[in-house]
Structure 1
Amino acid sequence: MTADDIAAAEPDHSPSTESAEENAKPGFEELGITGPVLKAIRDLGYESPSPIQSATIPTLLQGRDVVGMAQTGTGKTAAFALPVLERLDVSQKTPQALVLAPTRELALQVCEAFESYASRMKGVHVLPVYGGQGYGVQLSALRRGVHIVVGTPGRIMDHLAKGTLDLSELTYLVLDEADEMLKMGFAEDVEQILAQTPEEKQVALFSATMPATIRRLAQQYLRDPEEITVKSKTATNTNITQRYLVVSYAQKVDALTRILEVENFDGMIVFVRTKNETEALAEKLRARGYSAAAINGDVPQVQRERSVNQLKDGKLDILVATDVAARGLDVERISHVVNFDIPTDTESYVHRIGRTGRAGRTGDAISFITPRERYLLKHIEKATRQQPAQMQLPTTEDVNTTRLARFDDAITSALQETGRIEAFRDIIAHYVRNNDVPEADVAAALAVVAQGETPLLLDPERDELSRAVERDNRPPRERQERPDRAPRERRGRGDYTSYRIEVGRRHRVEPRQIVGALANEGGLGRDDFGAIAIKPDFSIVELPVNLDPGVLDRLRDTRISGRLIEIKPDRGPAGRRAPREGGGYERRERPSYGPRDDRGSRGADRGEDRPFRKPRHKG
């Protein structure tokens, strides 16, 4: 069961007029959901269908194709999963349904939803197929027989090329978050997959936006589809409190630590831009006494799942994550989301803060904004239809009050252990008799021993952090000289080596397709890519010198535009611009990020590691 569908199925607590309207809506049974599927969703607590479910389920049960426009959080997973399960033929062992998703996280989320909805059905097999997972598990499952395959386009293409995935009897095809797949450069892969499916099948396409490419895809591959549009009243959940703190880059870690001391949080996700920063920040938080772990595209899936389970079980309090690693994550304990690095696109912001405040729960979102990023506040306000409130950095007095309260609690808790207290009471009495020291002084000395070298309380006179944040919040003309922003780690030219892939200009490949495919299959981030030079028959891609050999293994069978890339170290003049005919040099191409409004959202599986680039200002 996905978080979107849980939220969509929550009981209505709105005023009586809206409640009456809700009660008048047909239930899942009236929509055509019956038998074990109906029992399963009732077990899950589903009471009434969401608007996208009410509009989509009857249409799909009638056999019509559907184009659905719906944002995350509207319950669209159940909208296509329930009709598929309602008409599934369990006796057929070849795949009957294929769901294409842009990221491994979403693929796993959708797969889990299918399994939840099929919990009352016997013998239903659902298989997630995505890059980064070994082929052995997937091949074994396919040989045994699966009914529903949920996967990313790249890995699905690999199986089709190997002949290990039989789509000859496919009945249902779903394109989930189609706009994201196209932004990531999977357009040709999606079209090739569609071309290898039976002509007589039912197709459901879901997308948050409807650009021309999606419209063309629908016209070409869907048969007289019914268009269903569901507009959410607000882009974000109204029970998420949004706040922001203006703080320079150099002070972010100290500011976060101070907020963690004062803020009453349960579980937390801290978002950063790059995978390298996830590890660095998690390590700094652990050094300061917090239970924190990093998840990013390079972390093995088993380890990522372990960290998420630890967060669920309360064994871990903080996950430091990139956008991709946290996509689709739904953990009830997540009370806070912190944008340590604010995303430059509003869609990523909405997805991030949506990790809290799920299914009617309240949540808090705190964003760190550097003085030069203030302009992003207007974009966030417009996209979310909510105005984030500016928060103040907790003062030293706030921190000291919290520390004293925790110190008191620790003493109170220790006093409950009467057996151990009695044992130490004799030891303290012995010390007092032999050293003629008041018991209060002995207790204070023991507190010093327990505290160590770090002072328990902060000194207000030495509060440089508050003064720095205060300077950051002044208008630019009033700011005094302050230390330069800490330099962002960037790779030098010597940090990359060149690899050759066998797709080029004549295959109509673009830099964004290369980045999308390599990031998705290899778990690479934006900082892992150097220059990309596209030649007529091949392309040269710069990747880190210390690239994990496992990444190359995962990329061996990757396809772009339907062609096997056959990645290998470049034996030519690596790292140089090749002279072209007539003199001069061929311009090396950087990945294209498309229109400004879409720039950040293409990142589901490859753009999450793109560092923030400051806008150029004239003058």
Structure 2
Amino acid sequence: MSENPQNTHAENGASPAFADMALHPAVARSIVDLGYETPSAIQARTIPALLEGRDVIGLAQTGTGKTAAFALPTLSAMAELGRATGGPHALVLTPTRELALQVAEAFSSYAAHLPDFSVLPIYGGQSYGPQLAGLRRGAQVVVGTPGRVIDHLKKGSLQLSSLKHLVLDEADEMLKMGFQEDIEEIFAATGSERQVALFSATMPGSIHRITKKYLNDPVEVRVESTTTTGANIRQRYLTVVHSHKLDALTRVLEIEEYDGIIMFVRTKQATEELAEKLRARGFTASAINGDIPQQARERTVEQLRNGQIDILVATDVAARGLDVERIQLVVNYDIPHDTESYVHRIGRTGRAGRSGEAILFVTPRETHLLRQIEKATRQRVAKLEMPTVEQLTNSRVARFAGRITEARTGSDLTEVRQVIEDYIQTHDVPAEEVAAALAVLLLDGDSLTAEPLPEPKPRANRSERGPRSNAGMRTYRIAVGRNDRVQPGGIVGAIANEGGLTSAQIGAIDIRATHSLVDLPENLPESTLSKLSRTKIQGRTIDIRPDKGRPGRPYQKRSHDGGDRGRRSGRPGGRDVSRADAKKSFRRND
């Protein structure tokens, strides 16, 4: 890598608008459709260099907009050259399948106006059939994890000799997970004319060696995240499983009163579905998304502004530029995958010095996204406690009593009072019983007594997990340990990506000197075990097999009290790591 100062793009200087960049018109049109105007710092400095054909090293944290930084110039070059033959035009390597899917989705959005465009995500855990079919059809962009890309190279189903663009996204994470040999093998399979873009949050020696060996006089772009949120916005999050989001939302709104509310979801269809469900629960709600005509959108926003509706359900694109003074609360019903979207969303409240509220719904599997937001914004998001059953019941009773008072003081009761008096005399029943019967009619099946909402299963830390060998789990031994400098994230990543397991299926990890112990489902198929046995971490085959404890001694469960950490049959020296801790380094998405 050149040490020439002009090869480093500094962070100083005004950022150009997307319209000022030399992007292909079809790609520029997609950017306009998405509502993007000003590029982020990493985009402003990376896109021009890639459009010039330079290799690029991008050093930036997650959430700074890296995907568009490499996707937009790649698509522009593809549009100029036309459809590639003999293999994909571009290959993007990612450490996790979650990120591979996210990047593939982004490419599809940016390529909306490119004819016959196809992008194919390939990763472990998915059957080969759909991937082979997609490769045979001629995917122009392939996004994949290194292990599965190597598999396709060995099968001959993926050809890289005609590749024009190679992107390594979160390269430092891939190396931590032991993919260095795979990455070098992939470099060797590409032609000499390919352009390389490497993105990493850090620049360890291993990254430096790769850039020096495989990149040609690269431009280095360093960007520090400066994303911040308004100090006058109170930010809170609520952990809830996806199926209970709506119940959790309505319970929060029962207890805490707000004026105007805007709720963000990820898809156009979700805006309509959530708005309809909210209306069914008695809220005045409407949806706006990219499919709604501008005139109808403006009419809906005006209804929110003048109080005809209280809740607006929107996508990020539809809400761009929205400024309604009445918005007091922003709800991230679906957590965004990038920090900038989060900042833009909650910026819809707390304007002009006013105070505002923001609530973020987080499923147990999305905790890593919350941590990304906190890290990038340098602000802690406080935990919102779910309203208790007692609070909800008291609130419902008080609200119902208020309706009774309102009817008594605001209506002429002469006619119905006579009916009630006649009914009491005719049926000889107490007035309280008649009133209760009328209340049941008024409630129309609703209950004043709240039921508890099921608690989400916590992604617990080690002290909360109990015995390692939980029901349905079995301890497996893998042939890498501390001496191999293995990290928990590397173990989780390798097993999840190459074995096709979900992260929820990976239990506690005990890293020892020469081997490690991992809790996995006890009924793993032979095909999965066979695949995992050939998986490499830090360049070593893990040779996974069920653990039987120390030779000659019966297996003893490891205690989780403070006095026996990391021991197996009384032998000290282990490193026991919870799955949640392991994923601090593993589950990062752009």
> Which TM-score tier does this pair reach, normalised by the shorter chain?
0.5 to 0.7
1:488 & 1:176 partners in 2: Cα distance? Answer: 34
1:45 aligns with 2:35: yes
Match of 2:291 in 1: none
1:75 & 1:357 partners in 2: Cα distance? Answer: 13
- Match 1:54 to one of 35, 39, 44: 44
Q: Secondary structure at the match of 1:242?
A: strand
Match of 2:434 in 1: 442
Q: Percent identity?
A: 43
Q: 1:603 to 1:486 in 2, by over 3 A?
A: closer
Q: What's the CA shift for 1:120?
A: 1.1
Q: Secondary structure at the match of 2:151?
A: helix
Q: Report the TM-score when normalising by structure 2.
A: 0.61
Match of 1:577 in 2: 550
1:24-49 C-alpha deviation (Å, 9 max, x unpaired): 75333432113211222222222233
Match of 1:341 in 2: none
Q: What's the CA shift for 1:522?
A: 1.7
1:124 & 1:170 partners in 2: Cα distance? Answer: 16
Q: Is the 8 A contact 2:477 2:517 kept in 1?
A: yes
Q: 1:335 to 1:505 in 2, by over 3 A?
A: same
1:158 & 1:560 partners in 2: Cα distance? Answer: 13
Q: Report the TM-score when normalising by structure 1.
A: 0.58
- Match 1:156 to one of 144, 149, 160: 149
Q: 1:171 to 1:268 in 2, by over 3 A?
A: closer
Q: What's the CA shift for 1:75?
A: 2.5
Aligned-partner residue type, residue 182 of structure 1: L
1:238 & 1:206 partners in 2: Cα distance? Answer: 31
Q: What's the CA shift for 1:64?
A: 0.6
Q: Kindly report which structure 2 residues correspond to 1:85-104, keeping only aligned pairs within 5 A, or say none.
A: 85-88=75-78, 89-93=81-85, 94-104=87-97
Q: Is the 8 A contact 2:475 2:517 kept in 1?
A: yes
Match of 2:358 in 1: 364
1:26 & 1:68 partners in 2: Cα distance? Answer: 18
Match of 1:519 in 2: 496
Match of 1:126 in 2: 119
Match of 2:234 in 1: 241
Aligned-partner residue type, residue 587 of structure 2: A
1:74-122 C-alpha deviation (Å, 9 max, x unpaired): 3322221111111114332311111112222222221122112111111
Q: What's the CA shift for 1:392?
A: 9.2
- Match 1:83 to one of 73, 89, 95: 73
Q: Secondary structure at the match of 2:235?
A: strand
1:517-571 C-alpha deviation (Å, 9 max, x unpaired): 0023322348524546676xxx67443454454993794596325989696654x
Aligned-partner residue type, residue 427 of structure 2: N
2:59 & 2:98 partners in 1: Cα distance? Answer: 21
1:147-185 C-alpha deviation (Å, 9 max, x unpaired): 101122232222223222111111111112223333444
2:269 & 2:191 partners in 1: Cα distance? Answer: 40
1:524 & 1:387 partners in 2: Cα distance? Answer: 25
Q: 1:394 to 1:52 in 2, by over 3 A?
A: same
1:56 & 1:63 partners in 2: Cα distance? Answer: 11
Aligned-partner residue type, residue 575 of structure 1: K
1:90 & 1:456 partners in 2: Cα distance? Answer: 64
Q: Secondary structure at the match of 2:64?
A: coil
Q: 1:528 to 1:80 in 2, by over 3 A?
A: same
Q: Kindly report which structure 2 residues correspond to 1:539-578, keeping only aligned pairs within 5 A, or say none.
A: 541-544=517-520, 546-547=522-523, 549=525, 552=528, 555=531, 559-561=535-537, 569-570=545-546, 574-578=547-551
Q: Is the 8 A contact 1:67 1:228 kept in 2?
A: yes
1:170 aligns with 2:163: yes
Q: What's the CA shift for 1:60?
A: 0.5
2:428 & 2:228 partners in 1: Cα distance? Answer: 68
Match of 1:68 in 2: 58
1:145 aligns with 2:156: no
Q: Kindly report which structure 2 residues correspond to 1:442-461, keeping only aligned pairs within 5 A, or say none.
A: 442-445=434-437, 447=439, 456=449
Aligned-pair Cα RMSD in Å: 5.5
Q: Kindly report which structure 2 residues correspond to 1:198-597, keeping only aligned pairs within 5 A, or say none.
A: 198-234=191-227, 241-243=234-236, 261-263=254-256, 313-314=273-274, 335-336=330-331, 356-359=342-345, 360-362=347-349, 364-365=358-359, 384-386=377-379, 399=392, 402-404=395-397, 407=400, 434-437=426-429, 441-445=433-437, 447=439, 456=449, 488-493=464-469, 496-499=473-476, 510=486, 512=488, 513-520=490-497, 521-525=500-504, 528-531=507-510, 541-544=517-520, 546-547=522-523, 549=525, 552=528, 555=531, 559-561=535-537, 569-570=545-546, 574-578=547-551, 590=575
1:119-141 C-alpha deviation (Å, 9 max, x unpaired): 11111111111233222111100
Q: Is the 8 A contact 2:178 2:539 kept in 1?
A: no
2:214 & 2:462 partners in 1: Cα distance? Answer: 51
Q: Is the 8 A contact 2:482 2:512 kept in 1?
A: no
Aligned-partner residue type, residue 53 of structure 1: Q
Q: 1:136 to 1:168 in 2, by over 3 A?
A: same
Of 433-442 and 49-58, deviating more is 433-442
1:86 & 1:239 partners in 2: Cα distance? Answer: 41
2:84 & 2:376 partners in 1: Cα distance? Answer: 45
Q: Is the 8 A contact 1:174 1:203 kept in 2?
A: yes
Aligned-partner residue type, residue 234 of structure 2: T
The number of residues matched between the two structures is 460
1:35 aligns with 2:25: yes
1:569-607 C-alpha deviation (Å, 9 max, x unpaired): 54xxx431259xxxx9997754789xxxx976303079x
Of 140-149 and 540-549, deviating more is 540-549
1:411 & 1:168 partners in 2: Cα distance? Answer: 77
Q: Secondary structure at the match of 2:58?
A: strand
Q: Secondary structure at the match of 1:40?
A: helix
Structure 2 unaligned blocks of 5 or more: 1-11, 239-247, 279-313, 320-328, 350-356, 363-371, 406-416, 452-460, 553-568
Q: 1:565 to 1:30 in 2, by over 3 A?
A: same
Q: Is the 8 A contact 1:514 1:560 kept in 2?
A: no
Q: Kindly report which structure 2 residues correspond to 1:185-196, keeping only aligned pairs within 5 A, or say none.
A: 185-196=178-189
Q: 1:519 to 1:131 in 2, by over 3 A?
A: same
2:141 & 2:92 partners in 1: Cα distance? Answer: 8
Q: Secondary structure at the match of 2:126?
A: coil
1:232 & 1:171 partners in 2: Cα distance? Answer: 30
Q: Secondary structure at the match of 1:98?
A: strand
Q: Secondary structure at the match of 1:216?
A: helix
2:339 & 2:398 partners in 1: Cα distance? Answer: 30
1:491-520 C-alpha deviation (Å, 9 max, x unpaired): 34475535466x658995836433320023
Aligned-partner residue type, residue 34 of structure 1: H
Match of 2:560 in 1: none
1:318-370 C-alpha deviation (Å, 9 max, x unpaired): xxxxxxxxxxxx965995469xxxxxxxxxx99798784545545625799xx
Q: What's the CA shift for 1:384?
A: 3.7
Q: Is the 8 A contact 2:486 2:537 kept in 1?
A: no
Q: Secondary structure at the match of 2:103?
A: helix
